[in-house]
């Protein structure tokens, strides 16, 4: 298990979704989005005035992130990204 430290968030890149003419959303592609990830795990949060402040995103959230703030790595043949919470820009609900 990969456990992010502090305000770091562990992501996996999401696969590309496409909307059909009739409006249905499909995962039709193995292509990877560059800026959209799924949260795998979050750290305990940054220390602000002596207390841990938990990240506002949580496991399984689909998020937009700043790829220039992300560190990429591979572990057991899987690709991951680690992004500090400030690099998580939006949540897709």
Sole residue written with tokens 């039709």: 28
Rounded to a whole number of angstroms, the minimum distance from the CB of residue 73 to a copy of itself is 4
Could you give the CA distance from residue 93 to residue 89 in angstroms, rounded to a whole number?
A: 13
Nearer to a copy of itself, 34 or 59 (CB): 34
- Report CA torsion sign: 59, 65, 67, 68: negative
Rounded to a whole number of angstroms, the minimum distance from the CB of residue 52 to a copy of itself is 12
Query: Residues in contact with a copy of itself, total (CB under 8 A)?
Result: 35
Which residue in the set 29, 52, 56, 79 belongs to the binding site for a copy of itself (CB under 8 A)?
56
């Amino acid at each position: 298990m990969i456990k992010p430290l502090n305000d770091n968030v562990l992501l996996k890149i999401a696969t590309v979704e496409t909307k059909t003419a009739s409006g249905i959303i499909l995962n039709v592609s193995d292509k990877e989005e560059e800026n959209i990830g799924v949260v795998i795990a979050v750290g305990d949060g940054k220390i602000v005035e002596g207390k841990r402040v938990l990240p506002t995103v949580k496991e399984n959230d689909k998020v937009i992130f700043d790829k220039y703030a992300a560190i990429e790595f591979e572990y057991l043949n899987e690709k991951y990204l680690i992004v500090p919470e400030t690099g998580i820009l939006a949540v897709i609900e």
